[in-house]
Chain A
Amino acid sequence: MKLEGVGIVGYGVYIPRYRIKVEEIAKIWGGDAKSISNGLKIFEKAVADYDEDAATIAVEAARNAVRMASIDPKDIGAIYVGSESHPYTVKPTATIVAEAIGASPELTAADYEFACKAGTAGIQTCMGLVASNIIKYGLAIGSDTAQGAPGDALEYTASSGGVAYIIGKDKLIASIEGTYSYTTDTPDFWRKEGQPYPRHGGRFTGAPAFFKHVYNASIGLMESLNLKPQDFDYAVFHQPNGKFPRKVAKMLGFTIEQIEEGILVDKIGNTYSGSSLMGLAAVLDKAESGERIMLTSFGSGAGSDSFSILVEEGIKKIRGKVPSVEDYIKRKKYLDYATYAKLRRKIKVIS
């Protein structure tokens, strides 16, 4: 779908301060840290503190986005929070965010769930509401404190972090030229009610899930906008590990130079709903006006949303207003496995 006049007014990120290294996790479960690091292309992941969850992370990212955009939060007409780790099963995260940024009460709000692509689904909803003049600004957030079962391969990557984007028509720092989605019923990853950790299909998460959806959504976007990989300065893909985005980029005809800036999984892990959107934020932190970025998310279950984003002149005015992705990546403190297990509530205590 081709769009005109709708884009990003501001964005904000949040990454918790704690990290755990692959070696530390591998030591506990008898894994070979070197082969895991080389295979998954990941070295460490971000870990939320004991008093952090998807809601607090969403609020921190949203506050940064509002400060960057310099808008009145009362002008935000819709808030969508995408997460697979909402703190409540019943009770929206979006209302907590709305109150905490001062956007209440005249707005619509809801929580989204679509594994790792719930954040980009929120962006698409906001684009529709803004383009049809139902709202002035929409706030779409991807925020997670992702859980991997102790000892499972997911534990090396499932991390915590969040990203917020304000979508609007004026004061654009980047316009969204178009979006294209590709969705099928593919059970590659799931978690049932009452279960603490998700289950996944192992190798089944690759070819029929991640690669099929990311590839087809990206191809569909380029065909609908009549663009080629060479027309993009950057490409950002969902990054469940460091291997998948690099492989799909090659399949699509993108070069390593186009994708390196947006790959963060090696330093912070897979922030789930925040994953590809965090990569986009890292690219926007550096990009110049006139540059074009492809963003393709992936959510297990499964689907991909692809976007073509053109950086505008306004990007210069907002630089340095709020902490960058790099600022948050640099701010870190390493944990041992026992402290990590306590903070992520993997140890059950009597309450």
Chain B
Amino acid sequence: MSNVPRFWRNLKRRYNLIGTKCLNCNELYFPPRQLCPKCRRASKIEDVQLKGRGEVLTYTIIHSAPKRFEGQTPYIMAIIQLEEGPKLTAQIVDCDPTEIDIGMKVEMVFRRIQEDGDAGLIYYGYKFRPIAN
């Protein structure tokens, strides 16, 4: 149960891909930053809603998963470059390990990330899936 407040604090960005923008240098960040590492004291940080579309920069197939993810193996984890620029790591769903490719266009979906046992909280958040043509 100790994870509940920590999860709740990050809930908005995990549900909706909300990053930050430094108005001083126009750099976008995800996960959100409270301070721009380039501008430091001159940082002017504002929340930004990211569109949730991007492409796969690289990926790996997980066969040996952490305890709570064992039921999903083999699954794909990818580094995705969002259209707006920031890069993030996320699971790719609705895609077989044989179908994934570098450069694949993907979009955000809302899924269960993990569950705190049978009686605990369900943690929801973003994953990505191939954009259907």
Contacts and interface: CB of A to CB of B under 8 A. Distances in A.
A87 interface: yes
Contact of B112 (A17, A51, A60): A51
Given A17-B94, A60-B109, A60-B110, A55 B132 contact: no
Nearest to B71: A50
A342 B71 contact: yes
Interface in A297-351: 323, 327, 331, 333, 342, 349, 351
A292 to B, nearest CB: 32
B111 A100 contact: no
B122 interface: yes
B15 A51 contact: no
Nearest to B49: A102
Given A50-B71, A100-B15, A351 B118 contact: yes
Contacts of B117: 351
A327 B15 CA distance: 25
Contacts of B110: 56, 59-60, 63, 100
A349 B112 contact: no
Given A51-B112, A56-B111, A100 B16 contact: yes
Interface residues of A, number: 24
Contact of A52 (B11, B12, B49, B111): B111
A55 B109 CA distance: 12
A161 B17 CA distance: 24
B72 interface: yes
B16 A49 contact: no
Contact of A99 (B15, B72, B109, B122): B15
Q: Is the interface of B mostly helix, strand, loop or mixed?
A: mixed
B112 A99 contact: no
Interface in B24-67: 49
Nearest to A62: B110
A50 to B, nearest CB: 6
Interface in A220-265: none
Interface in B73-117: 93-94, 96, 109-113, 115, 117
A79 B103 CA distance: 38
Given A51-B72, A56-B124, A102 B111 contact: no
A149 interface: no
B71 to A, nearest CB: 6
B127 interface: yes
DSSP class of A's interface residues: helix, strand, loop or mixed?
Answer: loop
B112 A52 contact: yes
A84 interface: no
A53 interface: yes
Contacts of A342: 71
Contacts of B16: 99-100, 102
A96 interface: yes
B132 A49 contact: no
Interface in A110-164: none
A331 B94 CA distance: 10
Nearest to A58: B110
A52 B112 CA distance: 6
A55 to B, nearest CB: 7
B94 A49 contact: yes
Given A59-B110, A59-B124, 12 more contacts: A49-B93, A50-B72, A51-B111, A53-B122, A56-B110, A56-B111, A100-B15, A100-B124, A102-B49, A327-B132, A342-B71, A349-B71
A197 B72 CA distance: 23
